[in-house]
Structure 1
Amino acid sequence: MKSILYRFLIGCAGSDEDILDKCPRSEHIKHAGFGALVLVPATLGLFSMTYAISTFVEKPYLYILAGIVWAGIVFIFDRFIISTFRKKGSVLKDISSLAFISRVVFSAFVGIAVAHPLVLLYFHESIDVNMDEVAHAKVDSIENVYQLQKKNLQLQTDTIDRNLRPISDTIHTQEGILHDEIKGVVRSDDRTTGKAGEGPTFKYDTAYLSRLYSELAQTKQSNESKKIDNANTMAKLDSARQSKINRLTFSRDYLERESALSRLTASNSIIKITTWFLIIFFILVDILPVTWKGLTSRGPYDEYLNEIELKIKNDVQEKIIDSETKLEIHKRNKEKELMVYD
């Protein structure tokens, strides 16, 4: 009584169990091995697609279901490839045949589809770090522009009141002149007449001082208006900065991870070599079943299978010949009947 595992592996290989029953044990082991080799790419496909879908789908049952479906597709492809490959007279003829080469090429493409998500999974920590660095760089770029604009506005605000100092100094000087003029003090700068009282010079200086007060008040008002404008501009800049940051999208889906891996391979030769090594390795894993079947020598199973197929072919040809013979006899009988009738 053969085990369930053996029957399962033989089914995975697509081999005929009835034919294997006629073969020695070595053929059983070989074909069970083919079935195990078919399962390996399917298992890798399960993990690769599950991971790939999980990068943009949050519900576990969806990406697990997608992984199972993809594993089934890979299994069906590989089972068909290995079960339909027929051994010829020699290994050289097998590996040089169009059937073998086409199956290897197709298996390689399936291997690439299986391999790439697994490469992303292998480098997932480095990819996460790279995506974080890119996200921080985008934020820092916005912050740097904002800080530069804010610094310029703050500098303008800090220097607005500087234009008050010359007017204030002039007012202070003019107040001293008026005080000395009304007291009759003679100044060394000849700005007073030396006559006490409110003379024409005093009145002129008083009017000039009034104009200075008015100019100072207007300047202060203008400065306050500029400060308010700068404060409003700064508030708008802050709002625009926050809005730009909020609009930034920090996606971590499959395509973004592809881009991150591309940046890593471009900047680090070790990662590039490792990536290609992993891809080639997984491709080899996927082409392994058909490759090993092509490289193994022709066995009793192949002989029995060829004999059965040849027998069926001969039977079909005999039936065709028999049908053609009967048809020819029927035609001749019809012709004889027509001649008798005439």
Structure 2
Amino acid sequence: MNKVARFLWFCSGAHIPLLLRSPTDTNKYIGIGGTVLFTGILAALSAGYALYTIFQSLLPALFFGILWGLMIFNLDRFIVSSMRKKASAWNDWKLATPRLVFAVLLALVISKPLELKMFEREINRKLDEKKTVFLAESKAAIAAGFPEITALEGKVDTLKSETARVEAYRNRLQQEYDYERFGTKTDGTSGIVGLGSNARKKEQQLDAAQNALDQTKADNLVRIDTLESQIRGLMAIRQAEFEKQQPGIDGFDGLAARLDALHLLTEESIAMKYANIFIILLFIALETAPIFVKLIALRGPYDSLLDLHEDYVEVYVDEQTIKSREKSERRIKEFRLENGVSESFTT
């Protein structure tokens, strides 16, 4: 317990020899040191997660996360240790104001990556939605850059329509021929059963239509194959262009993208908005807690001992300065006496 207490005193920035002479203040500085320590740990976790989303590698994220945590720990320790409890509350607040502002800024920096981790599922869902939109926009933009495909597909459709039209004409003649043979009375048939003159005429027309259909199919099939070959070539080029852009879309999950997704979520959902605000306030409270503890705490024996120690140092420095000046003046006088130099000459 003694080692833990000493470590927390160190975290609070207290002067341990003086603190040991004021046991009533030891628990206060244990609490301050614990707050500073856990703020540094949270800062390390926050930075580690943020850097992991950037580097996608554990070792760099671990190294820089620990480095960031130590830096925040050192800053918090400096902020707390540099505050001196004075007799005037107004002077205390004047000294604490810039430190509070700096602590709030640190809290905002620390809280944001942890917010991203807390809302990771919702952010991933929002990122998936944005990726889907980006994919559709990318496909549309690339397709707009290949108007030849649409033109070629139009030609293929025209040829297919022509074949279908010729085939429909042949089917109509086939039906009329069948009606004529079996004696079905229509506007175009005689209604006489058997292969009469009308049936033979229909048969000739059907044969001509069949030959025309076969020729049209053969000609259009060659043309369609040629056009579809060109379409496949252009589509392969278009797909290659899309595949070049797809890794960038799939990799749309960096730190900036996640921050943007979190911003959109807070705009879309009131619950997310207030949860985000409360988390930020929590970290602000955590970061500023040591400063407020020092502000609201009564002036204790440790503060008096610290002031006394600093006054002693100042008095000691003044004494040494005076002694040094007297010693220097004495040497000057001795030099004058030894060399017979008058004071008016030296001046």
Taking structure 1 as the reference length, the TM-score comes to: 0.75
Aligned to 1:164: 166
Count of residues paired in the alignment: 305
Aligned to 1:22: 21
Deviation at 1:293, TM superposition (A): 1.5
Aligned to 1:293: 294
Q: Tell me, in whole angstroms, the C-alpha distance in 2 between the residues paired with 1:292 and 1:138.
A: 50
Say if 1:170 and 1:30 are closer, same or farther in 2 by CA, change over 3 A.
closer
Deviation at 1:157, TM superposition (A): 5.6
Say if 1:121 and 1:156 are closer, same or farther in 2 by CA, change over 3 A.
farther
CA RMSD of aligned residues (A): 3.8
Q: For structure 1, which segment, 315-324 or 276-285, has the greater mean C-alpha deviation from structure 2 after superposition?
A: 276-285
**1:194-213 correspondence runs (5 A):** none
1:130 has 2:126 as partner = yes
The runs of at least 4 consecutive aligned structure 1 residues that moved more than 6 Å come to: 143-146, 169-172, 211-218
Aligned to 1:192: none
**1:38-49 correspondence runs (5 A):** 38-49=36-47
CA contact (8 A) 2:40 2:72 kept: yes
Deviations along 1:6-28, whole A, 9 cap, x unmatched? 111111111112111211x3301
1:115 has 2:111 as partner = yes
Q: Give the 3-state SS of the residue equivalent to 2:87 in structure 1.
A: coil
Deviation at 1:169, TM superposition (A): 9.1
Q: Give the 3-state SS of the residue equivalent to 1:76 in structure 2.
A: helix
1:75 has 2:77 as partner = no
Q: Tell me, in whole angstroms, the C-alpha distance in 2 between the residues paired with 1:273 and 1:119.
A: 12
CA contact (8 A) 1:90 1:298 kept: no
Aligned to 2:7: 8
Say if 1:167 and 1:277 are closer, same or farther in 2 by CA, change over 3 A.
same
**1:228-267 correspondence runs (5 A):** 228-236=225-233, 238-239=235-236, 240-241=238-239, 244-245=242-243, 247-248=245-246, 249=248, 250-251=250-251, 252-267=253-268
1:50 has 2:48 as partner = yes
Say if 1:126 and 1:317 are closer, same or farther in 2 by CA, change over 3 A.
same
Aligned to 2:181: none
Deviation at 1:74, TM superposition (A): 1.0
Aligned to 1:304: 305
Q: Quick one: which amino acid aligns to residue 283 of structure 2?
A: F
Deviation at 1:304, TM superposition (A): 0.3
Aligned to 1:175: none
Deviation at 1:141, TM superposition (A): 4.8
Q: Quick one: which amino acid aligns to residue 256 of structure 1?
A: A
Q: Give the 3-state SS of the residue equivalent to 1:56 in structure 2.
A: helix
Q: Tell me, in whole angstroms, the C-alpha distance in 1 between the residues paired with 2:171 and 2:17.
A: 115
Say if 1:241 and 1:142 are closer, same or farther in 2 by CA, change over 3 A.
farther
Q: Tell me, in whole angstroms, the C-alpha distance in 1 between the residues paired with 2:307 and 2:70.
A: 29
Deviation at 1:158, TM superposition (A): 4.0
Deviations along 1:100-143, whole A, 9 cap, x unmatched? 22222222222222111011011100001111122223334567
Name stretches of at least 5 consecutive residues in structure 2 with no aligned partner: 144-148, 175-189, 191-203
Q: Tell me, in whole angstroms, the C-alpha distance in 1 between the residues paired with 2:213 and 2:244.
A: 45
Aligned to 2:328: 327
Q: Tell me, in whole angstroms, the C-alpha distance in 2 between the residues paired with 1:155 and 1:295.
A: 83
Q: Tell me, in whole angstroms, the C-alpha distance in 2 between the residues paired with 1:120 and 1:107.
A: 21
Say if 1:28 and 1:162 are closer, same or farther in 2 by CA, change over 3 A.
same
CA contact (8 A) 1:91 1:297 kept: no
Q: Give the 3-state SS of the residue equivalent to 1:86 in structure 2.
A: coil
Name stretches of at least 5 consecutive residues in structure 1 with no aligned partner: 173-187, 189-205
Deviation at 1:326, TM superposition (A): 1.9
Deviations along 1:137-158, whole A, 9 cap, x unmatched? 3334567797x969x6575464
Q: Decide which of 98, 105, 110 is 2:101's aligned counterpart.
A: 105
Q: Decide which of 20, 26, 32 is 2:30's aligned counterpart.
A: 32
